[in-house]
Amino acid sequence: MSGHSHDGFDWAASLERLRKNDELNADTLRELTLRLLGPQTRVVVDVGSGAGEMSAACAEAMSGAGGTVVLVDAAPELVDAAAARVRAAAGPRVEVRTVQADAAGDGWTAPRGCRSDGTAP
């Protein structure tokens, strides 16, 4: 297991707790996603993606028109779990990309095609 380098906490060890929390909040996350994403949203970058429920809601919202969800987390176990969750929700028109990085650490650069704050142009 690996912990976030910026806080020393082993987030990967908390994966099941994160999943349970996501399950409890799934409806709220979907509602929030519908408020955040506009009809033209084609790229979502989730920095600190955790277990992936927020990104899964984004993928579901973009499944008709298509788009890309980029998952960023420092713990490889979280990136893998989030990617599996998002791919299950995404449908064939949503691409899922993963980046293992600690956004709070030195050397953070946004994924290719995104501004330095992680947003799409």
- The CATH number linked to 34 is 3.40.50.150
The domain in which residue 61 lies consists of 11-100
pLDDT of residue 55: 94
In a domain, 119, yes or no: no
Q: Tell me what the mean pLDDT of segment 102-109 comes to.
A: 66
User: Considering the domain boundaries, does residue 37 fall inside one?
Assistant: yes
Q: How many domains does the chain have?
A: 1
pLDDT band at 106 (very low <50, low <70, confident <90, very high): low
Question: Does residue 1 belong to any structural domain of this protein?
Answer: no
Percent of the chain with pLDDT over 90: 47
What is the DSSP track for the chain?
----TTT---GGGGHHHHHHHHHHHHHHHHHHHHHH--TT--EEEEET-TTSHHHHHHHHHHTTT-EEEEEEESSHHHHHHHHHHHHHHH-TTEEEEEEE--TTSTT--PPTTS-TTS---
Residue 6 inside a domain? The answer is: no
Residue 84 lies in a domain: yes
